[in-house]
Amino acid sequence: MKILITGGAGFIGSALCRHLIKLTDSHVVNVDKLTYAGSLASLEPIAENPRYEFARADICDAEAIKGIFQSAKPGAVVHLAAETHVDRSIASSSVFATTNVIGTLTLLEAARHYCQQNAAPKDFRFLHVSTDEVHGSATRSSLFDENTPYDPSSPYSASKAASDHFAMAWYRTYGLPVIIANCSNNYGPYQFPEKLIPLMIINALEGKPLPVYGDGSNVRDWLYVDDHVRALDLIVRLGKPGTKYHVGARSERTNMQVMKDICAILDRLVPGRRPNAELISFVRDRPGHDQRYAIDPSKIERELGWRPLEKFETALEKTIKWYQQNEAWWRPLRERVYSGERLGDVKRDGVLSNLAEWSHFQQRPRRS
């Protein structure tokens, strides 16, 4: 199968590209705009593989996307390209609406015309990858499943909810074979260090404060990225069009528990310093901060036989060791793009200037 992956230079996208090239016989076409969160360095392990191709394009560029469909002739699309950081969406919501909504619409239309022209294989699939955040905050005892109503709280989750609705409408109206996957919080290697786990690991390694929003009681279901991409591989091959699959690890932790686990592991791996937990500090909470996300993955377990292979404790230690051993990957991001400051408290122009500079830097010719 030839699979077109959007956002394949991002965290989950690059993990999926590496998985498909290393563990399947699929041909991968990676389409990425290379914004601040996309890094070609995340794809170096497969960059020279003849079954891997990279095309730099904006998913909002209808002509470019149409051309990629015509030349690549994919058997499936896995749509991962998105703006994903809640704090950034609070500071700059229009970017999220453009990429997550208009970009998804552009892809859906390109895929629809591709299918209408009889260029697509009969078993063509369009897998739209979304988030559990579209459901808002779960109650203390409830779990999100495929029938849970949408109730987004942030500009980010609202944009993802809208894109979900567009995707399913294209199935119902035009018969495009769409499948939606909603996942819980991912973590693992190659994650841009604005997200909680990589940010706290790097801050701790540098002896910097470990800021916790509010009282740290917010709960998330933590899913190791390699388990997630295994699920996506199964869904795109075996999933039923017109349906949804919720992907979670049944691994709920409060943010404070995650912080303490990171500190304890680093105390053991890097002994001789003061306890890392002493670096934890509490900061003003994020506006509209959902209290709890919790996914019921029973459907994908039952229908596709998927189960997470990683336990949180061992996968977290594996992740921490990766960041210890791969400073060459994250150091340029730390120095050129995002130094760890709270995004909601910095000037918007400064952040956007840094992001634009990094996108330009990635495109400079490199010496062999």
Phi-psi region of 68 (alpha: psi -120 to 50; beta: other; left: phi over 0): alpha
Q: Report the largest interatomic distance among the alpha carbons of the chain, rounded to a whole angstrom.
A: 65
**Is 156 annotated in the active site?**
yes
DSSP string, 202-221: HHHHTT--EEEETTS--EEE
Q: Return the SS3 of 152.
A: coil
Catalytic member of 32, 83, 87, 132: 132
Catalytic member of 36, 52, 156, 323: 156
* C-alpha distances out from residue 188 to 196, 229, 251, 317, 343, Å: 11, 12, 15, 10, 22
Q: Return the SS3 of 162.
A: helix
Catalytic member of 32, 83, 87, 133: 133
d(Cα 4, Cα 144) in Å, to the nearest integer? 29
Handedness of CA 344, 347, 349, 353 (dihedral sign): negative
Handedness of CA 56, 58, 61, 67 (dihedral sign): positive
d(Cα 145, Cα 147) in Å, to the nearest integer? 5
E strands, 136-205, where? 178-183, 185-187
Residues belonging to the active site = 132-133, 156
